[in-house]
Chains A and B, each alone.
Chain A
């Protein structure tokens, strides 16, 4: 049985710094895993390697059993993995719906030309992450950080993933927005989505995950049930002063 996502002995070096140090883990179908660790631990770098935005120095990344190490980012997305970015980078001159439209586009120029946009689906996605009807034609420079994260989430969902990597989706959100995005994630979990979630907001993260992985200085230092990971002495000392 192959897992939706399986990482084996992943290593990524930036000059003298080993940002990912021999990391291995896998996620089972429909599971949601939290990836925690202090600032600079290497969480985002793992995401970038899974997406092919950074090339690992060694190790393998498998998606449903297939080694995706040589595939381009769009090819990986086509196979069902997609991520949000910690620093949202929307299309600045486009409205909320147009931003989502780009995520929904098939990677075929012919289809882009001959088929019109799916307006219903664009609006449905925008509303599902918590935008209101009035927000649909807003531009990114009129949006709050919370709105930009929601847009990031909607654009990622638009690519039709079965494995979603969420990087700090709660940062900068209000309590109400956090519970709304949390509810959306719960809904997707019930529908069978597989998640890998990075968050510094452990309170928001805990109810959304089946288990947790902690990393520090690029290495995995603990893995297991959330309560066990969080009480692990290594995790406690690395998180000291943070959580």
Chain B
């Protein structure tokens, strides 16, 4: 689909602003931004897999975790170089995602979500029981090689990853395959009736989503230098990812990105007032209100405003 000058202008403006950020904000804020960048990657990944097709995954950390553990174990236990372990982690995550296609062939709706939740629970149990000498068991792993030192470098690394993911997914989803995946979410039967193999399309969505999740998980673990299974396979983490995608605007790439920054900020802003888990309650409420006001998300609210004075209105 046609790219217009304002697409380039918007991306260029956004990229310039983001790269200038370390000059503009404190180190503490920058660390918040790093988390937002990773959350954006995970939310984009979730949106490609679930947001479009309507196959809602509650088990996204399953994929992120496989990417993270694979590279962590390879580098720490087997001294594999990061440049090799990350690609391996991505491939392993993609292979693992094919498990999602089994329930997706037979069941739709909430049962699919439950099965994916079970995947997450399963891997949480597995890392504790099977070969804790490799996975670190319940305590996880620390002292994992890091890619960067300091907030500024960590920020640049996470930002570059996020932008690379966002732009490539944005371009991919603007092609007809993005249209076809959205069509599955609207009426899977009509997609079949239009002559398209929905199984193959769903598999493509799962593999693409897993590619991004594995990549994000692997980079995240090499940013943190540690892995804590309890935080990773936590239902709050799943909700944060899903809510970021939904309130930002599902089925768009920019939406989940916006949602990730919005949520991260909301959580940070609330921290001094509500240090505990009550924060999740508040953000749940805000997310719900926003969702009721505009189910298509923040992205849609902005786009409606933009449509009013978009240069050279096109058909």
Contact surface of A with B, Cβ cutoff 8 Å: 51, 53, 72-74, 77-78, 82-83, 85, 89-94, 98, 101-103, 105, 107, 109, 112-117, 136-137, 155, 158-159
Contacts and interface: CB of A to CB of B under 8 A. Distances in A.
B193 A51 contact: yes
Contacts of A113: 172, 175-177
Contacts of A105: 176, 179-180, 194-196
A198 to B, nearest CB: 16
Contacts, number: 88
B186 interface: yes
23 contacts: A53-B192, A73-B192, A74-B192, A77-B194, A77-B195, A90-B190, A91-B182, A91-B183, A91-B186, A91-B187, A101-B179, A102-B194, A103-B195, A105-B179, A105-B180, A105-B195, A112-B175, A113-B175, A113-B176, A113-B177, A117-B1, A136-B315, A158-B194
B189 A107 contact: no
A83 B194 CA distance: 9
Given A91-B186, A92-B187, A74 B176 contact: no
Nearest to B1: A116
A94 B186 contact: yes
Given A91-B183, A137-B315, A102 B191 contact: yes
B197 interface: yes
Interface of B: 1, 172, 175-177, 179-180, 182-183, 186-187, 189-197, 200-201, 204, 315
4 cross-chain pairs, A with B, having the tightest CB-CB distances, nearest first: A77-B195, A112-B176, A91-B186, A112-B177
Contacts of B183: 91, 94, 102
A97 to B, nearest CB: 9
Contacts of B201: 109
Nearest to B190: A89
Contacts of A73: 192-193, 195
A117 B180 CA distance: 12
A48 to B, nearest CB: 10
A73 B190 CA distance: 11
A103 B194 contact: yes
B197 A159 contact: no
Given A107-B195, A116-B176, 17 more contacts: A51-B193, A53-B193, A73-B193, A73-B195, A85-B193, A89-B190, A90-B187, A90-B190, A91-B186, A102-B183, A102-B194, A105-B180, A107-B197, A109-B200, A112-B180, A116-B175, A159-B194
